[in-house]
Amino acid sequence: MAGFHLLLAVLLGPVSGSLPTTSPPRLPSPCQVVHMDVFCSGLNLRSAPTNLPQGIQTLDLSRNMFQNLTRQTLAFHTTVHHLSLHSNRILFIERGLFRGMKNLKFLDLSKNSLDVFAQSKSSIGKLGAVESLDLSGNGLHTGMTDYFLRDSLSLVNLSLNSNSITKIAKDTFSGSLALRKISLHNNVILEIEDGAFNVLFYLTELDLSKNSITCITDFDLSQLQILNLSKNSLEAFQTLDSDLEYELASLDLSQNKIIYFPLVPRRNKLAYLDISRNQLQGVNTTGTAEEMGDFREESFHTQSGQVLRQQDFSNLKYLHLSYNQIKTIPQSFFNSMVQLELLNISNNCIGTFVVKEESHLKNLKVLDLSYNSLRNLTFGKNTLLSLEELFLQGNLLTTMDPHTFQRRPSIKYLNLQQNNLNICMQSPSSNKHVHPHGCVAFYSIPTLRDLYLSENSLKVLPNNAFMDTPLTLLDLSLNPGLEVGPKALSGLEDSLVRLSLRENHISRLDVDLSSLSHLKLVDLSTNRLSALPSWSKKSSIESLNLGSNHLVTLEYDTLVALESSLKTLYVGSNPLSCCSNLRFFHLMQHSAVVVPDIATVTCVHMQDPEPVNIERVTEEMCQSLDNSSRSLTVIVVVVVALVLVVVLGLLAKACYARRQKRSSTFSA
Ligand SMILES: *[C@@H]1O[C@H](CO)[C@@H](O)[C@H](O)[C@H]1NC(C)=O
Ligand SMILES: *[C@@H]1O[C@H](CO)[C@@H](O)[C@H](O)[C@H]1NC(C)=O
Ligand SMILES: *[C@@H]1O[C@H](CO)[C@@H](O)[C@H](O)[C@H]1NC(C)=O
Ligand SMILES: *[C@@H]1O[C@H](CO)[C@@H](O)[C@H](O)[C@H]1NC(C)=O
Ligand SMILES: *[C@@H]1O[C@H](CO)[C@@H](O)[C@H](O)[C@H]1NC(C)=O
Ligand SMILES: *[C@@H]1O[C@H](CO)[C@@H](O)[C@H](O)[C@H]1NC(C)=O
């Protein structure tokens, strides 16, 4: 890329000069020149090179050693549109420098030492045509911005991020009335004087994130569209009560200390509202009337001492409430949320979540209720018809309407990890018998693709559990003792791609995995399998995890079935036999199959007390074993034969002696 730039520089250099034939030969510039843009970043410069083309548009002097910014140090390149001087050491700016730069629109002075300049109490004068100014990372204190902004009539975008400003005074922006966007992220703002932003009629975007603001009780910037107050110390956010139409569309209040649900403008365009990581205990907008005094009483509907106001969220699309302490959310809270697409209430304390009426949450696509204390999840019959993704992991669900998921006609993704559910058999009549505590049906959900059922203490995976539910992903891991019926995966033949049965204590698997023609990733690790299921044809599995099982021998038909598709195999921590798996080891060593855990793949060899790494197994090891054992057998046979002969001989002798004895007695 650099070479390309330099080549362009050579080709274009003369063209940008005035008269190529008469101009004196230039020294090669250390900068890269692309058309009318010059890049001199990171070259230890204290001033701009003089031998640059005339009429350049962009001049990037970032990461250099500039201290003084003057016409001279800029080598009189005062026609530029775009000037970047970030990460220099600028502590002095020539007064009126920018007024003379009639084309300059973008000026980046971030990461310099402009606090030193401000301490000298001199001003940079008129900012001229500059529309975008970046003063972030300059150690500027409250009041210092005056020396830069006093006369900046064209300024539209201003960044003051990462300075040390503690207060926004009434007149801070009085010299820059055209401002539309202000970023004050990462300062220490404690105080905003009344009216400080109200003078800015065009202001649409304000970033006050990562400051120390504790309270906003009279929000009145009706022209503002985007407001970020994330990472402050806010305990309350309340809008001045008014019938004015507010433009506010995005409000980020995450990571504060908010206790009561914010009071948003009565008439608003709010589409994005983030109140995650606060201290909400419910969705009431204030505490009781007593707690709050008679705070703007007329605007609330007072009911048995509680202060409530039905808020308008008819434009809301995204609502983030995760990481609070919410216990319940009344149905009526969602009344106006007809456009809501994403609702995230994960990591709260909700025990019951009920959606009864069909008018609510019609457009909801994603619902995250994970990591609550849900025991009761009730969705009315014709509700949540648009729901595509449902996160319910980390709850206490044991029973629910068995048809809960079958009645969501758009559901694609369902995470039920870490609950206590049972799976229904396909024929509902026998359900009661199998699961006295009820079950959930996963068959006949034609839209469902991803299903997570790990850590549910599942005992049985019944046959046909997923009939007519063309899953691509099925996670059944961490259900120790799970019994998998031979036809448990029937119906998934043409869809299933990923299957996990990890850590289930399974000792026998009677499922024909090769019948799942799309299967690519299979995890059978940490079980008690001593044999693999049999295969009726070639499988399509690409990654197979057999680690931590009781496998001694991998049968030949397994190898044949896997050989053509397998790319990755985990087989560590099994008591493999060295000599009965020679074919298999050969396959692993001479095919493209990757064994990522090869260091832990060992086998047992009779002569070795220690397990042998399979990379060290050779055919000879097993042959010599054969030979020695054969000679051992010969010796044993010979010894046995000898012993037999001796014993027979002795017996014969004894018999003879006895008969003689007997006959002698007879004769006696
Ligand atoms: C910067 O300006 C100051 C005062 O105007 C001067 O003393 C100093 O030498 C200048 N430094 C450079 C590097 O030009
Ligand atoms: C100001 O910022 C907005 C939003 O980041 C951007 O779209 C616009 O181009 C910027 N305008 C100028 C003049 O920098
Ligand atoms: C608000 O600011 C925080 C912190 O800078 C940032 O992470 C977040 O993305 C911003 N919010 C929005 C909605 O842009
Ligand atoms: C919210 O208000 C309702 C209705 O007035 C009341 O029943 C409930 O206890 C309040 N919840 C909280 C958390 O204050
Ligand atoms: C919900 O919020 C949590 C915490 O911010 C986040 O981790 C999770 O991914 C969100 N869920 C969705 C579906 O976006
Ligand atoms: C769940 O909660 C709803 C509403 O509170 C109630 O009607 C229903 O009986 C509860 N169901 C269970 C199983 O507790």
DSSP state string for 84-138: E--SS---EE-TTTTTT-TT--EEE--SS-HHHHHHTT------TT--EEE--SS
Task: Report the mean per-residue pLDDT for the chain.
Answer: 86
Give residue 499's identity as a one-letter amino acid code.
Answer: L
Give residue 591's pLDDT: 80
Report how far ligand 3's centroid is from the alpha carbon of 230 (Å). Answer: 7
DSSP 342: E
Q: Tell whether 651 is covered by a domain.
A: no
The pLDDT of residue 20 is 39
Percentage with pLDDT > 90 across the chain: 66
Note the residue count of the chain.
668
Q: What was the pLDDT predicted at 19?
A: 36
* CA 6/CA 645 separation, integer angstroms: 99
Question: Residue 511 domain-assigned?
Answer: yes
**Residue 493: per-residue pLDDT:** 96
CA distance 558 to 581: 12
What is the pairing mode between strands 37-39 and 32-34? antiparallel
Q: Which atom of ligand 4 is nearest to the CA of 281?
A: 13
Residue 517's domain comprises: 506-624
Based on the structure, what is the number of domains in the chain?
Answer: 4
514 plus 499 within the same structural domain: no
Closest listed ligand to the CA of 327? 4
| Ligand 1 geometric centre to CA of 70 (Å) | 10
Regarding the beta carbon of 308 and ligand 4, being less than 6 Å apart is answered yes
Q: Is residue 131 within 8 Å of residue 103, measured between CB atoms?
A: no
CA separation for the pair 286, 311 (Å, rounded): 12
What's the helix, strand, coil split of the chain in %, to 5? 20, 20, 65
pLDDT-based confidence at 633, cuts 50/70/90? low
Interval between CA 129 and ligand 4 midpoint (Å): 54
Mean pLDDT, residues 389-406 taken together: 96
| CA 331 vs CA 119, 352, 382: distances in Å | 57, 11, 15
- Token code pair at residue 47: 């001033």
- Check: CB of residue 425 under 8 Å from CB of residue 448: no
For residue 389, report the distance from its CA to the centre of ligand 4, in Å.
Answer: 30
pLDDT digits (tens, 9 = 90+) for 416-434: 999 999 999 886 555 444 5
Per-residue pLDDT, averaged over 561-566, amounts to: 88
Number of neighbouring beta carbons within 10 Å of residue 313: 21
Residue 22 reports pLDDT greater than 60: no
Q: Which of 44, 64, 92 to mutate to test the pocket of ligand 1 (most atoms within 8 A of CB)?
A: 92
**Residue 167, pLDDT above cutoff 90:** yes
* pLDDT of the residue at 106: 97
Please give the distance, rounded to the nearest whole angstrom, from the Cα atom of residue 339 to the centre of ligand 4: 25
Q: Which ligand is nearest to the CA of 300?
A: 4
* 21: pLDDT strictly greater than 70: no
**Per-residue pLDDT at 607:** 76
- And the tokens for 527? 């079980």
Share of the chain above pLDDT 70, in %: 84
Least confident of 52-56, 132-136, 364-368: 52-56
The verdict on residue 367 lying in a domain is yes
Instruction: Please name the residue that has the structure tokens 């991020």.
Output: 161
Q: Taking the mean position of all CA atoms in its chain, how far away is CA 102?
A: 46
Average pLDDT on 578-600 reads: 84
User: Do residues 175 and 196 touch, judged by C-beta distance below 8 A?
Assistant: no
Dist CA 400 CA 424 (whole Å): 12
Are 103 and 127 in contact by the 8 Å Cβ rule? The answer is no
| Residue 608, SS3 per DSSP | coil
CA of 284 relative to ligand 4 center, distance in Å: 6
| 145 domain-assigned | yes
Residue 12 has pLDDT above 90, yes or no: no
Paired strand residues for 1: none
70 touches ligand 1 (CB under 6 Å): no
Buried-state track 402-431, b at ≥16 Cβ within 10 A, e below 16: bbbbbbbeebbbbbbbbbbbbbbbbeeeeb
Q: Which ligand is nearest to the CA of 273?
A: 3
- State how beta strands 157-159 and 181-183 pair: parallel
What is the C-alpha end-to-end distance of the chain, expressed in Å? 124
Mutate-to-test residue for ligand 6 from 352, 397, 420, 440, highest number of ligand atoms within 8 A of CB? 352
Integer Cα distance of 334 and 282 in angstroms: 13
Ligand 3: does its nearest atom lie under 6 Å from the Cβ of 209? Answer: yes
Same domain, 437 and 566: no
Choose the final residue of a domain: 447, 474, 504.
Answer: 504
Residues 102 and 169 in one domain: yes
- For the CA of 156, the closest atom of ligand 2 is 13
Is residue 275 in a domain?
yes
Helix (H) or strand (E) holding 178: none
Mean pLDDT of 389-410: 96
Q: Are 292 and 336 in contact (CB under 8 A)?
A: no
| Pair 182, 229 in one domain | no
Q: Which residues pair with 38 in a beta bridge?
A: 33, 59
Give the pairing type, strands 498-500 and 543-545: unpaired
463-472 pLDDT, tens digit each: 999 999 999 9
592 or 152, greater pLDDT? 152
Question: Which ligand does the CA of 154 lie closest to?
Answer: 2
Which of 26-40, 188-202, 458-472 bottoms out in mean pLDDT, i.e. has the lowest? 26-40
Q: What is the rounded average pLDDT of the residues 618-634?
A: 65
Q: Using CA atoms, how far apart are residues 613 and 598, in angstroms rounded to an integer?
A: 8
Give residue 592's pLDDT band: very low, low, confident or very high (50, 70, 90).
confident
Across the strands, what pairs with 390? 367, 414
* Same domain membership, residue 529 and residue 491: no
Question: Which residue has its alpha carbon closest to ligand 4 atom 5?
Answer: 306
Our answer on whether the CB atom of 352 is closer than 6 Å to any ligand 6 atom is yes
Give the span between the Cα atoms of 88 and 91, in whole angstroms.
9
Lowest-pLDDT range of 364-378, 536-550, 653-667: 653-667
Q: Does residue 518 lie in a domain region?
A: yes
**Segment 381-391, tens digit of pLDDT:** 899 999 999 99
- Kind and range of the H or E element at 577? strand 576-577
User: Does residue 265 belong to any structural domain of this protein?
Assistant: yes
State the burial class of residue 443 (Cβ atoms within 10 Å of its Cβ: 0-12, 13-18, 19+): buried
pLDDT given for residue 627 in this prediction: 56
249 shares its domain with 195: no
Q: Are residues 620 and 478 in the same domain?
A: no
Residues 320 and 377 in one domain: no
Distance (Å, whole) CA 133 – CA 329 = 45
Ligand 5 centroid, distance to 322 Cα (angstroms): 7
Q: Does the beta carbon of 132 sit less than 6 angstroms from any atom of ligand 2?
A: yes
Mutate to test the pocket of ligand 2, among 84, 103, 130, 156 (most ligand atoms within 8 A of CB): 156
Integer Cα distance of 49 and 63 in angstroms: 15
Separation between Cα atoms, residue 478 and residue 501, nearest integer Å: 8
- Average pLDDT of 386-409? 96
Which residues have C-beta within 8 Å of that of residue 134, sequence separation ≥ 6?
86, 107, 108, 109, 110, 158, 159
* 406 and 449 belong to one structural domain: yes
Q: Same domain, yes or no, for 174 and 322?
A: no
Mutate to test the pocket of ligand 3, among 186, 208, 228, 254 (most ligand atoms within 8 A of CB): 228
pLDDT mean over 345-370: 93
Nearest atom, ligand 2, residue 131 CA = 13
Sign of the dihedral through C-alpha 56, 57, 63, 65: positive
User: Does 10 reside within a domain?
Assistant: no
Q: Quote the DSSP letter at residue 533.
A: P
Tokens standing for residue 648: 């027979």
Nearest residue (CA) to ligand 6, atom 10: 376
CA gap 188, 167 in Å, rounded: 8
- pTM value? 0.84
Structure-model confidence comparison of residues 660 and 53, the more confident one: 53
* Residue after which a domain boundary falls, among 470, 504, 538: 504
Paired with 226 in beta bridges are 205, 250
CATH number of the domain where residue 569 is located? 3.80.10.10
* Residue 582 confidence (pLDDT): 86
Q: Which of 355, 354, 348 is nearest to 369 (CA)?
A: 348
Q: What are phi and psi of 238, to 5 degrees?
A: -135, 140
The arithmetic mean of pLDDT across residues 163-191, rounded, is 96
Q: Are 208 and 239 within one domain?
A: no
Q: How many other C-beta atoms can be found within 10 angstroms of the C-beta atom of residue 116?
A: 15
- Which of 187, 212, 237 terminates a domain? The answer is 212
- For residue 354 and ligand 6, the question of a CB distance below 6 A is answered with yes
Q: Which of 5-9, 33-37, 206-210 has the highest mean pLDDT?
A: 206-210
Instruction: List the residue whose alpha carbon is closest to atom 1 of ligand 1.
Output: 68
**Which residue puts its alpha carbon closest to atom 4 of ligand 4?**
306
Are 549 and 497 in the same domain? no
